[in-house]
Amino acid sequence: MEIIGSTFDDSVFSEARERLCASLSSYNAKLCEAEWFCESAALDTDDPLEKQKVFKFRGDLAFRQGNYQRALDAYSSCLQWIADNNLTIRRDVLEGMARCCTRLGRREQALEAAELLSKEASNTCHLTSLLLLKVSIYQHFGSVRPQMSCLQQLCSLLPFNPWHWLSLGQMCLQLLDSDPNTERASEAEADQKGAAERAEDRVWLRACICFVRTRLLLRLLRQQQSSFVAQRSEKALQVTEEALQRLNPKETTLQALTEVMSEDLIPEKMREDYQDGESLTCVCLQSFNERWWKSVLLAAVLQTDGPRVKS
* Per-residue model confidence as pLDDT tens digits over 119-147: 888 888 999 999 999 999 999 999 998 99
pLDDT band at 3 (very low <50, low <70, confident <90, very high): very low
Reported pTM: 0.78
* pLDDT tens digits, 14-51: 555 555 555 556 667 777 777 778 888 788 888 899 99
Q: Is the pLDDT of residue 291 over 70?
A: yes
User: C-alpha angle 154/157/163, rounded to 5°?
Assistant: 45
Residue 276 has pLDDT above 70, yes or no: no
User: What are the residue boundaries of the structural domains of the chain, listed by start?
Assistant: 38-120, 122-178+199-266+279-311
- Kindly give, in sequence order, each residue whose CB lies less than 8 Å from that of residue 48, ignoring residues fewer than 6 positions away: 81, 83
pLDDT digits (tens, 9 = 90+) for 98-123: 999 999 999 999 999 999 999 888 88
Is-contact 64 103, C-beta < 8 A? no
Task: Give the torsion sign (CA, 63, 69, 75, 81).
Answer: negative
Per-residue pLDDT reduced to its tens digit, 223-254: 777 788 888 999 999 999 999 999 999 998 89
| Average model confidence (pLDDT) across the chain | 81
Asked whether residue 275 carries a pLDDT value surpassing 80, the answer given is no
Closest among 221, 228, 247, 99 to 163, alpha carbons compared:
221
pLDDT for the residue 92: 96
Whether pLDDT at 277 is above 70: no
Q: Kindly state the average pLDDT of the residues 287-297.
A: 75
Share of the chain above pLDDT 70, in %: 74
Q: Does domain 38-120 have CATH number 1.25.40.10?
A: yes
- Residues in the chain, how many? 311
Q: What is the CA radius of gyration of the chain?
A: 27
CA atoms of 251 and 258, how far apart (whole Å): 10
